[in-house]
Amino acid sequence: MIVQTRTRVNRLLENGVPAYQYEFTYPKHADHTDDLFFIMGVHPFEEDENEKNIGNVYRESFINFVKTGKPGNGFEMSDMKTSSYFEIYWNETSGERPNMKTDFEEGIMDYWTREMVEFDENITKFKRENHLILPSVRALPIEYSVFPFSYFLFFLAPFLGGFLVAKYCCSGNERNLYIQLDGNDYPVKS
């Protein structure tokens, strides 16, 4: 999710579309969708003093964005070169407040957008140099196919057997009984 989000923000910025990115990092409730409580009241929980302030920041930022197109509260538009984002965090004890930061999830972004790309290129190069033996696919003769006629008969036999037993082993009256859910048998009128 991190890589896709940052990639999307960068694409928007490349095309001249203003894009704002934030990251909710308050450790008590920084799981996926926990911030929806502050915006829409989804997944309610008892708020501590810090979360009450975070809720105010969320509401003000979203209301400002809807009204003016800019979130305010120090929340600036993302910058592609610095990979900037707004970190939403509040700590009354240390005095930390939401602020703009750079290098959004730098380690994760570097791993997926640089290291894994290099790894994939090396694997592709290795395969092209025929150092890797790939399994070949060949057709099997019909007698080894998945569902030959004998398998078809094997699966059909129980159904056919049940039909024949019901048709020839039950007397006429027994076949025309209807069993109710209460367990009583009632004859079917023909």
DSSP the chain: -HHHHHHHHHHHHHTT-----EEE--GGG-STTTTHHHHH--S-----HHHHHHHHHHHHHHHHHHHHS--BTTBPPP-TTTT-EEEE--BTTTTB--EEESSTTHHHHHIIIIIHHHHHHHHHHHHHTT-SPPPP--PPPGGGSSS-HHHHHHHHHHHHHHHHHHHHSS-HHHHTEEE-TTS-EEEPP-
| Confidence (pTM) | 0.60
Which range marks the domain in which residue 182 is found? 149-187
Domain-embedded: residue 137: no
Count of domains in the chain?
Answer: 2
Domain-embedded: residue 121: no
For the stretch 106-139, pLDDT in tens is 888 889 989 999 999 988 888 888 766 666 666 6
For the stretch 83-103, pLDDT in tens is 999 999 999 999 999 999 999
User: 66 and 19 in one domain?
Assistant: yes
Q: Note the pLDDT of residue 117.
A: 92
